[in-house]
Amino acid sequence: MDIQLDVKNLTHVFKTGEGIRDINFQIKQGELLTLLGPSGCGKTTILRSVGGFIQNQQGKIIVGQEDITSLSPEKRPTAMVFQSYNLWPHMTVFDNLAFSMKLKKMSKDHINERVQWALRLIRLENTAKKYPSELSGGQQQRIALARALLLNPKVLLLDEPFSALDAKLRYELREELREIQSKENLTMLFVTHDQEEALSISDRIIVMNKGDIEQMDSPRSIYNEPNTLFVAKFIGKMNFIEIPIADHKASIGNNMYHFSHTNSSKLTAAIRPEDITIQEGKGDWLASIKKIMILGHYAEVTLETEDGILKTFVEKRKLESLHVHDQVSILLQDVRFFEGNDWIKYIKKEELPTCITV
């Protein structure tokens, strides 16, 4: 598959010292790549650099086979969808969409055809004669997306386009965006701080931290196999326990883990709540139920163990047999270890001779 966007050694440092340093990544044709991270991590700086709104101090930006590093925004084969809709309030939806094509002196028939195509794509065929003030926030954002698509960009840039909308509408619009992106084979660079949004729509995700790339991978790998402690803490819910290590061995509950080499006296164990199962009989840990929080069709159960506090998820139908202060046995499905910020692989796991039962 062809590389549509190639970012090489991109650097832009502000006077405050914040910014991005030596950023490298590529986006394939028809791929949706998301820049994810907390506020101030550099994701919007990258997006605006690609769009030409920030002049990078170092590096190259190549779209297709064209080096666009020195081009102004209007001359780049990109289009931006901003957080705010930026629609002309005195123009109808049709005129908002047709504006750029009228500047290029395209024929009326061509403009009408293209506008109708865009409105069908976003499922707002009956809004052409309406003004932005007559539309909901979600409809206005759809119009802003359609306007960007009418520029025929080789790379579509989206800067947290759904952040001003309520949760239900955000969910609906990101599903629609993914559908449009797949149908039209669009290449997209998407910026968000919402991890659920990133995990649900992306082909790949770049997790940013303080101007650097922490990890670039598929949503599945980002979630299941975080390479750094930062990514593990940022993506999804996770239990963290500090455990001592001696002779390249560390134990959690009833399991002993062996490591090939480590210079630390302690490691951080990271465990997803869904990887902890409350069961009858033998388990890896003995725990006491500290709290049960109902969250709809499932509950979050807080467990107290000798190694620390853990949280797990339990289906609603299994809650009848669980009560606060109950002693339970828990089974550990998976664990990931970190030495400092870096993931460290264990070479084998063995069960200790003493089994825990209740």
Query: What is the tens place of the pLDDT at every residue in 284-322?
Result: 788 999 999 998 888 999 999 988 899 999 988 888 888
Question: Which amino acid type is present at position 108?
Answer: K
User: 244 is written with which tokens?
Assistant: 């001592």
Q: Measured at the alpha carbon of residue 59, what is the angle toward residues 31 and 234, in degrees to the nearest 5?
A: 55
The pTM of the full predicted model, rounded to 2 decimals, is: 0.89
Task: Give the mean pLDDT of 107-125.
Answer: 90
User: 265 is written with which tokens?
Assistant: 């006296």
pLDDT tens by residue, 12-34: 999 888 899 999 999 999 999 99
Taking alpha carbons only, the member of 23, 32, 6 closest to residue 198 is 32
Q: How many CB atoms lie within 10 A of CB 337?
A: 21
Q: How far apart are CA 320 and CA 326, in angstroms?
A: 12
Please check the confidence at residue 357 and state whether its pLDDT lies above 50.
no
Q: How far apart are CA 220 and CA 236, in angstroms?
A: 12
Between 27 and 356, name the one with better pLDDT.
Answer: 27
Q: How far apart are CA 295 and CA 142, in angstroms?
A: 32
Using 50, 70 and 90 to split pLDDT, how confident is the model at 97? Answer: very high
- Residues of the chain within CATH 3.40.50.300 domain(s) are 3-231
Looking up tokens 């997209």 gives 188
Phi, psi of 32 (to 5 degrees): -110, 110
Taking alpha carbons only, the member of 22, 12, 5 closest to residue 78 is 5
Q: pLDDT at position 13, please? A: 92
Q: pLDDT at position 95, please? A: 92
Residues in the chain: 358
Q: pLDDT at position 261, please? A: 81
Q: How many CB atoms lie within 10 A of CB 137?
A: 14
Per DSSP, the three-state class of 278 is strand
Task: Give the mean pLDDT of 202-222.
Answer: 96
Please check the confidence at residue 1 and state whether its pLDDT lies above 70.
no
pLDDT tens by residue, 163-207: 878 888 888 888 888 988 998 899 999 999 999 999 999 999 999
* 168 Cβ contact list (under 8 Å, min separation 6): none
Q: How far apart are CA 355 and CA 358, in angstroms?
A: 10
**Which CATH fold would you assign to the domain 3-231?**
Rossmann fold (3.40.50)
Q: How far apart are CA 145 and CA 156, in angstroms?
A: 9
Question: Which amino acid type is present at position 23?
Answer: I
Per DSSP, the three-state class of 146 is helix
Domain 237-351: CATH superfamily is Nucleic acid-binding proteins (2.40.50.140)
Q: pLDDT at position 358, please? A: 46
Q: How far apart are CA 183 and CA 172, in angstroms?
A: 17
Q: How far apart are CA 158 and CA 180, in angstroms?
A: 14
- Residues of the chain within CATH 2.40.50.140 domain(s) are 237-351
Q: Is the separation of the CB atoms in 323 and 289 below 8 Å? A: yes
Please check the confidence at residue 281 and state whether its pLDDT lies above 80.
no
* Beta-strand relationship, 32-36 and 204-209: parallel
